[in-house]
Structures are given as structure tokens and as C-alpha cells.
A = this chain, B = another copy of it.
Amino acid sequence: MSKGITTRAEDYSQWYNDLVLKAGLADYSAVRGCMVIKPYGFALWENMQAALDKMFKDTGHQNAYFPLFVPKSFLEKEEGHAEGFAKECAVVTHYRLKANPEKKGSLMVDPDSKLDEELIIRPTSEAIIWNTYKDWIQSYRDLPLLINQWANVVRWEMRTRLFLRTAEFLWQEGHTAHATSEEAIEEAKRMLEVYATFAEQFMALPVIRGVKSASERFAGALETYCIEALMQDGKALQAGTSHFLGQNFAKAFDVKFLNKENKQEYVWATSWGVSTRLIGALVMAHSDDQGLVMPPKIAPLQVVIVPIYKGEDSKPVIDARANDLIAELRAAGIRVKYDDNDNTRPGWKFAEYELKGVPVRLAMGLRDLENNVVELARRDTKEKQQVSIDGLNGYIVKLLDEIQQNLYNNALKYREQHITPVKTWDEFVSTLNEGGFVSAHWDGTAETETAIKEKTKATIRCIPLNNPPEEGKCILSGKPSKERVLFAIAY
């Protein structure tokens, strides 16, 4: 196959699009800003979902499902929330079509079906969920309420990019209710740690745990915790957020509970979410000019076996040995594919699975089998070696772990090389141009933050958790600062 992938050096952004499209992760759709997640991309998402869902359940959460629609008046109730989302809301105004009398075969919106109140397609579900929680929470005995939802949401973005920013995307949103502020903050931090663990252990993606500056907070939150990752082009990507919402939504929707002292009190809240955007992060963190590089733990396929037939006689011999091996690998829980399609040649298949980022490729030829070996190729290092068939199963299990760890180590090394402390404005600007996180003093005001963003496009990605105190001067205003924060150009 001819891959036709733009290299990263040529055009990073085009390289990304080429990979997503050609490796079969996603496709553009006819609907502005919406994408189609193709089977290979969806299988990846399913693996990510399964790992996250287990972590949510292990921390006591249950799944539920709330309506797609949010009445406009609900969105209005929490003022900051309303302001934050109003500009990107898809609005349902009618509920029926009818035949267009002026054009045969065409349909028109039936004006008689206008809704009394417009319905917003959920951009996030705090409003509809807190309106429901009002009926579910009466006493401290009903708390904590720990609920998660897997759903589609719509935010009408003007500029969209496959996975990274689409009008509709898939995500999970946790919405929890607590009796005290402390418990809610603890929950928000716990779920941030779940996200960080997932990113690092499953996606092989090192992340920085931190909190957002006030102006980067979720609309309606008192504190937004986040994990930030670094892509190979030096841009940062917000990989997940967990919000402490205080009593804002409880007050907006009048959700009170009788506490242990028998007094009515507003409920404390969190919400937290990650989305299909993580797939974009995965692509940009590990892949290369030959294609995707999938971390084994969530790879849709972990091993592909390509038979190298020579003459008709070789097929039954190779197939039989392959089938034995596949049975062993499957028994060990490994996702393996045998590609014996005879419409394409081995070389084409090698390129195809390299593009798809399958961690381990085995090539099985007759002569190799006679010597009791196969050719094994690692996707991450591109190393090839002859490996004995005896004990191959155990070897592969270990190798997959090694590849997972290697991807993480590489990404971590890259990130550590790209966190640069700076002292002056000039240093700040020149370091930003080189990419990566820039650690700098900031005077803590939204004005300075905005001015920096306007001058450089850089935003404060986060104030790292456990940030060491350090006296300094703001890189722009020169005013006193007590700690460094991380700036970057971000996706």
C-alpha cells in the first residue's frame, strides 16, 4: 500500500489528519463539525471506556442515563454556567416535519409544532441532572450520590478537528452530591487521580496534575482540577477535568438535605469528564511518520500474524501452526488477528498494520517454521528479530508490557525535556516558540493572564498540585508572585 502520509516535519497538523483518516480511526461526516468514529477508532474507545468504567465502579460510582435535552430555562438557572455555554448551543425549536406543498417530495418544518420552550442539546448535563437530584436527595442518608453517565454531547464549535474539537463528541460525565465541602473536594481530587492513573497506565501518557486559574475554570465551578499532557509538537492538551462546584448548582436548583444536626443545608457537588478527545491525544503523543503507535493495553489489536505463503503446499502448514499460536494468545487474553487475506501481499499488510499501530507483528514463513522460529517486529522501536515459537506466548505477554512501558518512558522523557523555567519576558517568548511547558511567575491577576494570552497565544495550563512556593516576579507585570505556573500554547 502507498500510505501517502504527510511527515510531522512537513506539516504536523496534516500529519495528524492523515493518520486519523488513513488508519481508519474516524472520517468526516456530511454534518458540519461532526465526525464518524470508524470501527477501528471505536474499538479503541471501547477499550478506553472499559478501563475507565471499571475504575469508576471500583471507586463506588454507578452509571445512569439522563435526557439529551435541557430546557432553556434550566440552563439559565446557574448564571456562570449559562454564560459559558450559551454561545455554542444546538437548539431544538420544533418537533415535526410535514410535506412541503410548494415542492413535491420535500419536507419542511411544521410551524404548528413549535415548542413552547426551546430545548438545548446537552453541552454538559449539570442542569438537567441537578434538577433531577432535587427529587432524589432529602437527607444525609441519601449522600453521597455518586453517578456517572456515558453520553454524547454537543457544543457548536466554529473550528473543528477530528477528535480534538468536534460539534458532537462522546464522553463520560460524573456528577456527584455530598454532605460537606471537604467530601466534595476530596471526590474531585480522587477522580482527577483516576484520570491521571488512566492516562499514565493505559494510554502511556504522562500528565501533570494541577488546578486551573480562575479564568480557565469550568463555567459554574469553584475549582477546576485538570490533567495536562504534552504533544510531540510542543503544544499542551487538556486531557481531563474534575470540578468542585461548591453549592452553586444546589442553590440554582434548590437541592437541600437534612443534615445530621437535623438542619436543611444545600448539597455540595462535583462533576468530572473525559471525552473522545483523548483519542486525539493518544495519536499525537506516540505516533510517528509511518503511522499510529498504539499502547498495548488499549490497542484494538495487540498482535497481528501475517503468513508468508510460498506455493499452495505451505498454506495448510502455516495456518495450522498459526491457529495453535492464536488459541494460546487468546487464552492469555491477547487481542490477536490472523490476516490470511489473499487479496493483498505481505508487504502491503506490513505497511497497513504499521499504519494502524499494532504493537507486535509476527511474520510466519515455511522456512522459519522449519527452524521453529517466527519473525517478530515491534511497532514502537521497529526492531525485528527471530523468536523461538516455544514459549512465544509468554514472551509476547512480557513484550507487550515492555512496549507499554517504553512508550510511557519516551513520552515522559520528552515532556521532562520540555518544561522550561524562565525568568524574563524575552526568555518566556522565545521558549514558548520552541514549544513545551514554560514555568514562570505570574502575578495572579486575570488581567495579566489575558494580556499574556493576547501577546503570545499562551494560556496558563495549570498550577501544578503540590507546587513548591517560590518568591518571584511576574514575567509580564513584574509584580510579586508566590509560585510558578505552567504556560503553554494548547490544543
Known: A76-B105, A92-B121, A95-B156. 7 other contacts (CB 8 A): A29-B132, A36-B64, A75-B107, A76-B106, A86-B98, A86-B107, A90-B119
The one of B38, B88, B107 in contact with A64, judged by C-beta atoms closer than 8 angstroms, is B38
A109 at the interface (CB under 8 A from B): yes
The one of B30, B31, B97, B152 in contact with A91, judged by C-beta atoms closer than 8 angstroms, is B97
The answer to whether A109 touches B118 (Cβ under 8 A) is yes
Q: Mark A75-119, 1 if CB is under 8 A from B, else 0.
A: 110010010001111111111111100000111010000000011
Known: A120-B97, A170-B65. A30 touches B105 (CB 8 A): no
The answer to whether B107 touches A82 (Cβ under 8 A) is yes
A168 at the interface (CB under 8 A from B): yes
A71 at the interface (CB under 8 A from B): yes
- Return A81 CB to nearest CB of chain B, in Å: 11
A62 at the interface (CB under 8 A from B): yes
Contacts of A128 in B (CB 8 A): 29-31
The one of B88, B89, B105, B152 in contact with A68, judged by C-beta atoms closer than 8 angstroms, is B152
**Sampled A-B contacts (7; CB under 8 Å):** A29-B128, A31-B71, A46-B63, A76-B105, A91-B92, A91-B109, A93-B93
Known: A39-B62, A62-B39. A67 touches B105 (CB 8 A): no
**Separation of A70 and B34 alpha carbons in the complex (Å):** 11
Residue of B nearest to A68 (CB): B168
Q: How many copies does the complex hold?
A: 2
A147 at the interface (CB under 8 A from B): yes
- Return A213 CB to nearest CB of chain B, in Å: 25
The answer to whether A34 touches B68 (Cβ under 8 A) is yes
Residues in A37-52 with C-beta less than 8 Å from chain B: 37-39, 41-43, 45-46
Residue of B nearest to A100 (CB): B76
A343 at the interface (CB under 8 A from B): yes
The answer to whether B107 touches A96 (Cβ under 8 A) is no
The answer to whether A69 touches B34 (Cβ under 8 A) is yes
Known: A42-B62, A42-B64, A72-B107. A89 touches B95 (CB 8 A): yes
A338 at the interface (CB under 8 A from B): no
Contacts of A348 in B (CB 8 A): none
The answer to whether A64 touches B93 (Cβ under 8 A) is no
The one of B37, B42, B66, B107 in contact with A29, judged by C-beta atoms closer than 8 angstroms, is B66
The one of B36, B82, B136 in contact with A65, judged by C-beta atoms closer than 8 angstroms, is B36
A154 at the interface (CB under 8 A from B): yes
- Return A85 CB to nearest CB of chain B, in Å: 8
The answer to whether A31 touches B69 (Cβ under 8 A) is yes
**Separation of A69 and B156 alpha carbons in the complex (Å):** 12
**Separation of A39 and B76 alpha carbons in the complex (Å):** 27
Contacts of A152 in B (CB 8 A): 68, 151-152
